[in-house]
């Protein structure tokens, strides 16, 4: 599709980004010490911190990825919503208060509270970096996806733009401004998602009487793009992809439903027929690659049930490994939230354990409400008649565009600040890992307060640059799927140590180091050797993959626990 | 009070009276965590091994997948409120 920017969209976008940067710059004046830079002096009010949790957590994966997955495949995307929220139960009931009690600036502080071991700082610092960089990729991909329809810019420009703005935010101000940016973004995202949901229900469903036809995109051997055999463009002799997302039948042969209630919305769709789209890729002898998008009328009852997305189809098959893959993903989502370094450091920005607990409850309220809305927004996009068949990540902004240009501009700007908020948190967590954990402790060099902050800022620029490059390379992957992997690495590397430290006196420092290293390396290796990576990243046949299923959690999380227990027992005996 | 209600109240009384503030909160957290784990585990296992149970429309023409999914999100929030309320009550008592 050709996305033409409008003046209003660009103006509102620039206003949002300008305000965010101004706020960041203003607040940045307060954060000169390391306590201010990494933990906002522990002075953030619990309610603000709770909403900032939502701002930090509801990333591009939640807003763009889940909505896109639901819009293209139905209910399966909502499984991510359920899993992402369930993870907060672990965070609140198991991790929140001890994290606040044990730590100071970083996740490594909490794990190292009993031992004062440079080895733990090194291992956990590295795992923080690995998880944060993995989590950064989908955020940057989301940013690139957003600027296409909004500003008419290429993917790489969007990624670079976000990278530059976020580096500016983190370098100028640290945790104080990051918190307020996240608070602002969290509030706006939840409020405007609710507005959009009300508009979806008000609009109801309408049958599209036209018969959708297949569409093709051909990339010729010399790199030219052809749409349905014609050059891309709006002029004569040119073609552009038609927007998709239609209903072919409504219950009782109705043409339109009018406004619907929140329950009626689902019951009506359950009895309707929706046109979904499938894609197949073929390579001709002359070297051109053609992707054919074909309409597939699908009963609503099928759209609203799990197991229709290609990645989830396995649950409706008899193949054991396919089912294990699903179990593994849902386990990683459940265990991953409470292991994400950029979420955990937010427990240090409030004054005490009660504030940590209360802010988590506020976070669960905001995040849970938003996740309920994702199902409405995804299905609303599915039936909006405005989607881009080539990119599922654009479903939510294009849904807004189908309602009003103003809403589109606001939603896109919010989505952009969504990326800014999450990426800021991730880069700050990475910078803390480098300056506070890796350099500050392991190297034995005693850094002054000022030097720690300066090194953190240099690390922010470096991590930001890496994120920009990865965001450009991974353009075509659904952002929510990428985040699923980040959760697997986080849960495998960090959760076993954290949980065992809290509930078992027999933990040793060697046990923690071994568990973090084994969990991190095994989960990363599993992902790199999986069928999904083979096909989507290396371009190799999925059958050549070296592991039997793609999601590592069900193997590598227990492996982390087993390693910790075994090594702790062995090293305790020696002591 | 119903039998399950009395049992819950008794358990909470034991938890709230027999432990220090720190371990009292973590015990309470573990009880609520276990409760949610059963709900979430049930959902995941049903989806994995008996996905056809999700297709049924038991109420208002909406299927089990949606009711159960929304129920899990609501349950997380309600359990969080209960946890916050009980921890606060214990802190106020102290």
Residues of A in contact with B33 (CB under 8 A): 89-90, 93-94
Helix spans in A32-174 (H): 34-39, 46-57, 60, 67-73, 76-90, 96-102, 107-111, 118-151, 155-173
Count Cβ neighbours within 10 Å for each residue of A309-340 and write b for 16 or more, e otherwise: bebbebbeeeeeebbbbbbbbbbbbbbbbbbb
Residues of A in contact with B73 (CB under 8 A): 81-82, 85, 368, 371-372
Residues of A in contact with B51 (CB under 8 A): 305-307, 315-316
Nearest to B51 by CA among A79, A327, A306: A306
Examine the pLDDT at A338 and tell me if it is beyond 60.
Answer: yes
Q: Is the Cβ–Cβ distance between A388 and A1 less than 8 Å?
A: yes
* ipTM score assigned to the predicted complex: 0.86
Write the residue in A85, A316, A330 that is nearest to B76 by C-beta.
Answer: A85
Q: Where are the domains of chain A?
A: 7-203+334-475, 215-316
Residue A448's pLDDT is 74
Residue A35's pLDDT is 66
Lowest average pLDDT, out of A22-31, A224-233, A239-248, goes to A22-31
Tell the burial category of A530 from Cβ atoms under 10 Å away from its Cβ (0-12, 13-18, 19+). Answer: buried
Distance from C-alpha of A384 to C-alpha of A404, rounded to nearest angstrom = 12
Average pLDDT over residues A207-232: 84
Q: Mind listing the pLDDT tens digit for each residue in A432-443?
A: 777 777 776 655
Average pLDDT over residues A327-331: 91
Residue showing tokens 């354990």: A353
Q: How confident is the model at residue A32 (pLDDT cuts 50, 70, 90)?
A: low
Percent of the residues in chain B that have a pLDDT greater than 70, as a whole number: 71
Q: Is the Cβ–Cβ distance between A365 and B70 less than 8 Å?
A: no
Contact between B73 and A81 using a beta-carbon 8 Å cutoff: yes
Averaged pLDDT of chain A:
84
Contact between A263 and B73 using a beta-carbon 8 Å cutoff: no
Residue B18's pLDDT is 46
Examine the pLDDT at A199 and tell me if it is beyond 90.
Answer: yes
Q: How confident is the model at residue A408 (pLDDT cuts 50, 70, 90)?
A: confident
Examine the pLDDT at B15 and tell me if it is beyond 50.
Answer: no
Examine the pLDDT at A460 and tell me if it is beyond 80.
Answer: yes
Percent of the residues in chain A that have a pLDDT greater than 90, as a whole number: 23
Residue A11's pLDDT is 84
Percent of the residues in chain B that have a pLDDT greater than 90, as a whole number: 51
- Element (DSSP H or E) covering residue A227: strand A225-227
Residue A143's pLDDT is 79
More confident residue, A191 or A410: A191
Residue A331's pLDDT is 92
Q: Mind listing the pLDDT tens digit for each residue in A110-129?
A: 888 888 788 888 888 888 88
- Element (DSSP H or E) covering residue A342: helix A341-344
Write the residue in B73, B83, B91 that is nearest to A93 by C-beta.
Answer: B83
Distance from C-alpha of A190 to C-alpha of A186, rounded to nearest angstrom = 6
Q: Mind listing the pLDDT tens digit for each residue in A289-325?
A: 888 898 889 999 999 999 888 888 888 888 888 899 8
C-alpha to C-alpha distances, A413 to A76, A152, A185, A310, A408, nearest whole angstrom? 27, 14, 10, 31, 8
Residue A25's pLDDT is 72
Write the residue in B29, B48, B51 that is nearest to A327 by C-beta.
Answer: B48
Residue A43's pLDDT is 74
- Separation of CA B28 from chain center: 11
Lowest average pLDDT, out of A41-45, A162-166, B85-89, goes to A41-45
Residue A353's pLDDT is 80
Distance from C-alpha of A58 to C-alpha of A420, rounded to nearest angstrom = 11
Distance from CA of A441 to the nearest CA of B (A): 29
C-alpha to C-alpha distances, A472 to A131, A220, A281, B24, nearest whole angstrom? 18, 22, 22, 49
Residue showing tokens 């989505």: A415
Distance from C-alpha of A269 to C-alpha of A50, rounded to nearest angstrom = 35
Q: Mind listing the pLDDT tens digit for each residue in A480-532?
A: 666 777 888 889 998 999 888 888 888 898 999 999 999 999 998 998 898 88
Distance from CA of B12 to the nearest CA of A (A): 15
- Separation of CA B38 from chain center: 8
CA dihedral A233, A410, A80, A311 (to 10 degrees): 0
Q: Mind listing the pLDDT tens digit for each residue in B61-73?
A: 999 999 999 999 9
Examine the pLDDT at A46 and tell me if it is beyond 50.
Answer: yes
Examine the pLDDT at A39 and tell me if it is beyond 50.
Answer: yes
Lowest average pLDDT, out of A131-135, A276-280, B18-22, goes to B18-22
Distance from C-alpha of A264 to C-alpha of A50, rounded to nearest angstrom = 32
Write the residue in A323, A358, A372 that is nearest to B70 by C-beta.
Answer: A372
Contact between A86 and B40 using a beta-carbon 8 Å cutoff: yes
Residues of B in contact with A357 (CB under 8 A): 25, 83-84, 87
Lowest average pLDDT, out of A34-38, A51-55, A389-393, goes to A34-38
Q: Which of B30, B46, B61 is the best residue to mutate to test the A interface, defined by the most A CB atoms within 10 Å of its own CB?
A: B61
Rg (CA), chain B: 17
Contact between B73 and A371 using a beta-carbon 8 Å cutoff: yes
Q: Mind listing the pLDDT tens digit for each residue in B28-47?
A: 888 999 999 999 999 999 99
Lowest average pLDDT, out of A40-44, A405-409, A530-534, A537-541, goes to A40-44
Write the residue in A306, A327, A361 that is nearest to B54 by C-beta.
Answer: A306
Average pLDDT over residues A394-412: 84
More confident residue, A108 or A66: A66
Residue showing tokens 């990051």: A178
Contact between B83 and A270 using a beta-carbon 8 Å cutoff: no
Distance from CA of A336 to the nearest CA of B (A): 15
Residues of A in contact with B36 (CB under 8 A): 86, 89, 93
Q: Which of A96, A305, A312, A379 is the best residue to mutate to test the B interface, defined by the most B CB atoms within 10 Å of its own CB?
A: A305
Contact between A323 and B49 using a beta-carbon 8 Å cutoff: yes
> Which pair of tokens denotes residue A26?
């203003």
Q: Mind listing the pLDDT tens digit for each residue in A123-152?
A: 888 888 888 888 888 888 877 877 776 677
Distance from CA of B19 to the nearest CA of A (A): 15
Contact between B88 and A354 using a beta-carbon 8 Å cutoff: yes
Chain B contacts to A (CB-CB under 8 A):
22, 25-26, 29-30, 32-33, 36, 40, 43-44, 47-49, 51, 54-55, 57, 60-63, 65-66, 69-70, 72-74, 76-77, 79-81, 83-84, 87-88, 91
Residue A535's pLDDT is 80
More confident residue, A48 or A2: A48
Count Cβ neighbours within 10 Å for each residue of A152-170 and write b for 16 or more, e otherwise: ebebbbbbbbbbebbbbbb
Contact between A326 and B63 using a beta-carbon 8 Å cutoff: no
Distance from CA of A451 to the nearest CA of B (A): 36
Neighbours of B49 (CB within 10 A): 11
Residues 6+ apart with CB under 8 A from A131: A339, A340, A341, A486, A489, A490, A493, A494
Residue A537's pLDDT is 73
Q: Which chain A residue has its CA at the smallest distance from B69's CA?
A: A82
Distance from CA of A447 to the nearest CA of B (A): 34
Helix spans in A383-478 (H): 395-403, 405-432, 449-473
Residues of A in contact with B80 (CB under 8 A): 88-89, 92, 360-361, 364-365
Q: Is the Cβ–Cβ distance between A127 and A437 less than 8 Å?
A: no
Neighbours of B37 (CB within 10 A): 16
pTM for this structure? Answer: 0.87
More confident residue, A345 or A80: A80
> Which pair of tokens denotes residue A191?
């409020």
Residue A511's pLDDT is 92
Distance from CA of B2 to the nearest CA of A (A): 27
Examine the pLDDT at A396 and tell me if it is beyond 90.
Answer: no
Q: Which of B65, B71, B74, B79 is the best residue to mutate to test the A interface, defined by the most A CB atoms within 10 Å of its own CB?
A: B65
Q: Which 8-state DSSP code applies to residue B29?
A: H
Nearest to A167 by CA among A143, A190, A187, A131: A143
Q: Which CATH superfamily groups domain A7-203+334-475?
A: Sodium/glucose cotransporter (1.20.1730.10)
Q: Is the Cβ–Cβ distance between A143 and A162 less than 8 Å?
A: yes
């Amino acid at each position: 599709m050709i996305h033409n920017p409008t003046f209003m969209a660009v103006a509102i976008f620039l206003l949002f980004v300008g305000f965010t940067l101004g706020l960041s710059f203003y607040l940045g004046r307060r954060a000169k010490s390391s306590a201010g830079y990494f933990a906002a002096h522990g002075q953030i009010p619990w309610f603000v911190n709770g909403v900032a949790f939502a701002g930090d957590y509801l990333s591009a994966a939640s807003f763009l990825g889940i909505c896109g997955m639901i819009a293209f495949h139905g209910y399966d995307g909502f499984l991510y919503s359920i899993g992402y929220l369930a993870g907060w139960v672990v965070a609140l009931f198991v991790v929140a208060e001890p994290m606040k009690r044990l730590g100071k600036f970083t996740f490594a502080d909490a794990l190292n509270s009993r031992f004062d071991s440079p080895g733990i700082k090194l291992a956990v610092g590295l795992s923080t970096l690995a998880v944060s960089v993995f989590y950064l990729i989908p955020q940057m991909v989301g940013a690139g996806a957003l600027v296409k329809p909004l500003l008419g810019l290429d993917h790489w420009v969007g990624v670079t733009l976000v990278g530059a703005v976020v580096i500016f935010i983190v370098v100028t101000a640290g945790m104080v401004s990051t918190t307020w940016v996240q608070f602002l973004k969290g509030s706006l995202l939840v409020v405007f998602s609710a507005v959009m949901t009300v508009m979806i229900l008000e609009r109801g469903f309408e049958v599209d009487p036209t018969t959708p036809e297949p569409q093709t995109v051909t990339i010729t051997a010399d790199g030219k793009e052809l749409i349905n055999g014609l050059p891309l463009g709006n002029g004569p002799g040119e073609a552009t992809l038609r927007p998709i997302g239609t209903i072919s039948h409504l219950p009782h042969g109705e043409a339109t439903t009018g406004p619907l209630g929140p329950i009626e919305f689902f019951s009506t769709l359950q009895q309707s027929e929706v046109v979904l789209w499938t894609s197949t890729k073929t390579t001709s002898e002359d070297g051109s690659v053609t992707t054919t998008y074909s309409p597939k009328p699908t009963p609503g009852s099928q759209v609203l049930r799990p197991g229709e997305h290609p990645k989830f189809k396995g649950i409706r098959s008899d193949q054991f490994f396919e089912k294990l893959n699903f179990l593994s993903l849902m386990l990683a989502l459940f265990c991953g939230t409470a292991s994400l370094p950029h979420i955990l450091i937010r427990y240090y920005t409030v004054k005490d354990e009660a504030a940590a607990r209360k802010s988590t409850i506020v976070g669960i309220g905001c995040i849970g409400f938003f996740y309920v809305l994702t199902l409405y927004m995804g299905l609303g996009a599915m039936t909006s008649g405005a989607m881009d068949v080539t990119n599922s990540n654009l479903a939510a902004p294009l849904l807004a565009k189908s309602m009003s240009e103003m809403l589109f501009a606001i939603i896109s700007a919010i989505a952009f600040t969504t990326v800014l908020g999450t990426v800021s948190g991730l880069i700050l967590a990475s910078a803390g890992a480098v300056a506070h954990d890796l350099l500050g402790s392991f190297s034995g060099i005693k850094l002054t307060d000022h030097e720690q902050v300066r090194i953190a800022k240099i690390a922010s620029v470096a991590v930001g640059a890496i994120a920009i490059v990865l965001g450009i390379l991974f353009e075509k992957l659904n952002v929510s799927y990428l985040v699923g992997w980040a959760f697997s690495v986080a849960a495998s590397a960090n959760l076993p140590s954290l949980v065992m430290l809290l509930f078992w006196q027999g933990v040793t420092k060697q046990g923690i180091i071994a568990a973090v290293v084994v969990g991190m390396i095994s989960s990363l290796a599993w992902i790199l050797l999986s069928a999904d990576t083979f096909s989507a990243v290396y371009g190799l046949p999925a059958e050549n993959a070296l592991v039997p299923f793609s999601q590592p959690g069900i193997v590598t999380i227990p492996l982390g626990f087993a390693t910790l227990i075994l090594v702790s027992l062995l090293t305790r005996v020696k002591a | 009070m119903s039998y399950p209600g009395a049992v819950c109240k008794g358990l909470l009384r034991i938890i709230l009276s027999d432990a220090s503030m720190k371990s009292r909160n973590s015990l309470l957290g573990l009880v609520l965590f276990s409760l949610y784990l059963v709900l979430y585990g049930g959902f995941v296992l049903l989806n994995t091994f008996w996905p056809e149970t999700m297709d049924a429309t038991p109420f208002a023409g909406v299927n089990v997948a949606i009711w159960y999914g929304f129920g899990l999100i609501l349950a997380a929030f309600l359990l969080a409120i209960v946890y916050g309320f009980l921890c606060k009550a214990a802190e106020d008592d102290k």
